[in-house]
Amino acid sequence: MAELVLTDPRKTGKRWSRTVGVLGEALGRQVTLARRRKRWTEEELAARARLSRSTLVKIEQGKGNVALNAVLEVCWLLEVPVLGVTDLKGAEALLRRTEADLELVAQRVRSRKNGTPSSAF
């Protein structure tokens, strides 16, 4: 069954899957929850993350295009897990494991003879 598709609210023509929309919203709610548990205002968190309040609101609402590093900074400040990691040691370990895994996988992905990319799924 085909997945529902959402259109980027900025009308750029980009289309996001329903799953991406739900993940963005869920992550945003996790950020809001963690911020409230720390008893930080939106303004306080935005200042700590060196972001505008409007960017933080977009992250918390799971809406709009926000730079990945902005989202990661907010998650790190609040200890919201991203890829199962909440600290520098965990991030470094994840990077090492991923680099090791990359060494085991072919460097190039070849297209199928009919011109469509191959898929692992």
In the chain, what are the domain boundaries?
Answer: 5-104
Instruction: Express each pLDDT in 55-86 by its tens digit.
Output: 999 999 998 789 999 999 999 999 999 999 99
What is the assigned CATH class of domain 5-104?
Answer: mainly alpha
pTM value surpassing 0.85: no
Rounded to 5°, the CA angle 14-75-56 comes to: 60
Residue of 90, 87, 80, 85 lying closest to 31 (CA atoms): 80
Helices 42-49 and 53-61, axial angle in degrees (round to 10): 110
Residue 8 scores a pLDDT above 70: no
CA 65 – CA 13 distance, rounded (Å): 13
Residues with Cβ within 8 Å of residue 57, at least 6 apart in sequence: 42
